[in-house]
Amino acid sequence: MKDTKKAVKKYERISPTAWFTAEGRTFSDIPYSREIFAAMEKMGAPSELLTTFDKPIRFCRFEARYKIINKYLHDSGNVQILELASGLSPRGLLMAENNASVNYVEVDLPAMLEQKKAVLALIKPSLPENLHLEEGNALKLEELRTATRHFDKKKSIAVIHEGLLRYLSFEEKIEVGRNIATLLREFGGVWITPDITLSSRVHGGQIVEQTKRITGVDITANTFKDVDEAKRFFEGLGFSVEAHSFLEVKNQLVSPPKIGVSDNELEKTLDGYVFVMRLKKGHSGKIVMR
């Protein structure tokens, strides 16, 4: 893929969805969520985006997605963390503040990263020294390698992201997977992602059209038929895959009663998965196409 301003602009159209996700976190008990949303409102949040989507039940999913990543990130034991397309997530700030041994690197496109820095400046003028904010595109290996200069080569890493892959074509997913595989061959470690969007969750109609209008992406073309197809895809990239249901963190969620979501509705919306992936031993790096 050519490294052009046009290509970067294409992906930056996806960045505003970070504002919508940040709004959703305010219904959770995730620290700094309200402060981040207040800061973005002060800066002039895109009101069209924030009033576009059918929001409340999706906010429960956002909370579950965040918390299940945290669960398996903690279980992995890694303290060197690379978060791709980090948007307005508070995770890096929280982890860096709470654990001096953590070395946290956030990567995002230039425009989104500048917004993140502006938001953080309003709520936390002095950032922890172990939190690093880096410009970079998940599709560009050299940019990711530059971001990992903050890491100790003798320690393994965890690569995470949430809400990224659904906006990427399968060819782009392969490119991201290849880049992460390269980093894990160099450092060792794990790839954790909840971005396993299944066709059953994308029914067309208003939500697809709204997403396409805002981001320029038709997400229906980027979904997996089912979780088995998703597993085969990532296995073809050289990874072993552990699939875990969002329902594992159901009892940790505080947003459902706040927005009036019934237990039955919650069960249906928590039909997502987080994949915890490690490189298969002896994998050559050859990509097996879907």
Number of residues assigned to the chain: 290
Residue 140, classed as helix, strand or coil, is coil
Band (56; pLDDT cuts 50, 70, 90): confident
* Strands of the 239-245 sheet, one edge to the other: 131-135, 103-108, 80-84, 157-160, 189-193, 273-279, 239-245
pTM for this predicted structure: 0.89
- pLDDT of the residue at 52: 47
Which H/E stretch holds residue 106? strand 103-108
Single out the residue of 251, 248, 250, 239 nearest to residue 276, CA to CA. Answer: 239
- pLDDT of the residue at 290: 39
Kindly report the number of other CB atoms within 10 A of residue 115's CB atom.
Answer: 21
Position 54 pLDDT exceeds 60: no
Residue 286, judged by CB atoms within 10 A of its CB (0-12, 13-18, 19+), counts as exposed
Q: What percent of the chain has pLDDT over 90?
A: 70
pLDDT mean over 24-32: 95
Q: For the segment 194-226, what is each residue's pLDDT rounded down to a tens digit?
A: 999 898 776 555 565 565 556 565 667 889 999
Single out the residue of 21, 152, 174 nearest to residue 86, CA to CA. Answer: 21
Position 196: which residue type? I
Give the CA angle between residues 181, 190, 167 to the nearest 5°: 65
Q: Cβ(159)–Cβ(191) under 8 Å?
A: yes
- pLDDT of the residue at 202: 65
Q: For the segment 137-166, what is each residue's pLDDT rounded down to a tens digit?
A: 999 999 999 999 999 999 999 999 998 998
Residue 85, judged by CB atoms within 10 A of its CB (0-12, 13-18, 19+), counts as buried
